[in-house]
Amino acid sequence: NAGVTQTPKFRVLKTGQSMTLLCAQDMNHEYMYWYRQDPGMGLRLIHYSVGEGTTAKGEVPDGYNVSRLKKQNFLLGLESAAPSQTSVYFCASSLVSGRSDTEAFFGQGTRLTVV
Amino acid sequence: DAKTTQPPSMDCAEGRAANLPCNHSTISGNEYVYWYRQIHSQGPQYIIHGLKNNETNEMASLIITEDRKSSTLILPHATLRDTAVYYCIVRVAHPRGSNYKLTFGKGTLLTVNP
């Protein structure tokens, strides 16, 4: 049981390049999230998904796209990277149970630098 | 989701109890209080959550006031490894709703000193 795995862990992109961050969870969780965290800041929600085939915008969705084709995977795409997207990206998942969800599990982060 | 207010930083001596406050005066009846922590650029880690009763687990205790407008996270015997940013989050309880998401603020940096 690996929990939440993010790929890659580090990446350097040039401005205008595209890339996809992969988040995989093996806990059969329904909910998945993508956050970004900038120095000295809390986590900001980019997009989230409440189930396979569904996605929704969070606080800072501009410049990002997501897909949830399989329940266990949540992909975050940058179509044309900008220096403002330099950040640490965290993926999380949570299981819905009864009237409240259980804890959310987080990956170890992807450190992305756009030059 | 209701907003939360936390002090930006706190200090605690090793071995003593750490009491981290959180104000959530606009909390509604169906919103839970969650606590997470983030140790130096790692992914956040769940600690505890509750609705209106006090909760305790192996990591911490959560005390929620009777009017539910504030809460306190208690680490009974803080260690150096508890140095982290602690996030208090209030969110709706019902799953599958369009507003179902986990939103973080800036949290409280707890520094445990030897």
With 70 as the cut, is the pLDDT of residue A102 above it?
Answer: no
With 60 as the cut, is the pLDDT of residue A101 above it?
Answer: no
Q: Do A100 and B104 touch (CB under 8 A)?
A: no
- Taking the CA of residue B41 and the nearest CA in chain A, the distance in Å comes to 8
The pLDDT score that the predictor gives to residue A30 is 87
- Taking the CA of residue B78 and the nearest CA in chain A, the distance in Å comes to 22
With 80 as the cut, is the pLDDT of residue B96 above it?
Answer: no
Tokens found for residue B42: 């790692």
> What is the rounded CA–CA span in Å between residue B79 and residue B19?
13
The mean pLDDT of chain B is 89
DSSP symbol at B41: T
The pLDDT score that the predictor gives to residue B101 is 67
Angle ∠(A78,A81,A85) on CA atoms, nearest 5: 90
By DSSP bridging, strand B55-56 and strand B61-64 are antiparallel
Residue with tokens 């750490």, as numbered in its chain: B18
Mean pLDDT across the stretch B28-39?
A: 90
Tokens found for residue B101: 């998401």
Indicate the residue of B85, B95, B105 with minimum beta-carbon distance to A96.
B95
With 80 as the cut, is the pLDDT of residue B12 above it?
Answer: yes
Angle ∠(A99,B89,B93) on CA atoms, nearest 5: 15
Q: Do A31 and B106 touch (CB under 8 A)?
A: no
For the ranges A98-102, B3-7, B36-40, the lowest mean pLDDT is seen at: A98-102
Indicate the residue of B32, B94, B107 with minimum beta-carbon distance to A42.
B107
Residues 6+ apart with CB under 8 A from A17: A80, A81
* Residue pLDDT, tens place only, A15-60: 999 999 999 999 998 889 999 999 877 889 999 998 899 999 988 9
Residue of chain A with shortest Cα separation from B106: A42
Q: Do A31 and B87 touch (CB under 8 A)?
A: no
Q: Do A90 and B103 touch (CB under 8 A)?
A: no
The pLDDT score that the predictor gives to residue A109 is 96
pLDDT over 70 for what percent of chain A?
93
Mean pLDDT across the stretch B1-26?
A: 93
